[in-house]
Amino acid sequence: MITINFDKSPDGLVPAIVQDAVSGTVLMLAYVNREALEQTVRTGHAHYWSRSRKKLWKKGETSGHVQLVQEVRIDCDADTILYLVEQRGGAACHEGYQSCFYRRLEGDDLHIIGERIFDPESVYQK
């Protein structure tokens, strides 16, 4: 496995930016440790480390909205990763939007610019 600066952050994680391989839309950001990156490369499905649940997490394991990773890029400092993905189900965000970045800052307000693709309540059991 190539050298990535996992040790630069106290928790051994680096951020992974997730971009739609076709449209170029930035879908989300999550965190990976060495195990998550290795699982991603090995399986072709995006895996992350959940900071809140403190466990390895396969994107889409609940929703079915998996991410097929077509390319992994590394930045100049080797402390950030970029996944180019095919997003199954059309939506990366657990709120049902295509992208987690569905809100634009306008003055002191946030303006919703995305359209909901699915209803979160129908996908995630509370």
Question: DSSP labels for the chain?
Answer: -----GGGSTTS-EEEEEEETTT--EEEEEEE-HHHHHHHHHHSB-EEEETTTTEEEETTTTTS--EEEEEEEE-TTS--EEEEEEETTS--STTSBSSS--EEEETTEEEE-S-BSS-HHHHS--
Q: Is 121 in the site for its own copies (CB under 8 A)?
A: no
Q: Which stretch binds its own copies (CB under 8 A): 25-33, 42-50, 58-66?
A: 25-33
Q: Toward its own copies, which CB reaches closer, 6 or 102? A: 102
Per-residue string for binding with its own copies, 93-112, x by CB under 8 A?
xxx-x--xxxxxx--xxx--
100 annotated as ligand-binding: yes
- Range 35-94, binding its own copies (CB under 8 A): 41, 71-77, 80, 82, 93-94
93 is in an annotated binding site: yes
To the question of whether residue 76 is assigned a binding role by annotation, the answer is: yes
How is residue 115 written in tokens? Answer: 């359209």
The verdict on whether residue 20 carries a ligand-binding annotation is no
Residues 6+ apart with CB under 8 A from 93: 27, 28, 99, 100, 102, 114
Closest approach, Cβ 31 to its own copies, in A, equals 10
Q: Which residues bind its own copies (CB under 8 A)?
A: 1-2, 10, 15, 17, 19, 23-26, 28-29, 41, 71-77, 80, 82, 93-95, 97, 100-105, 108-110, 113
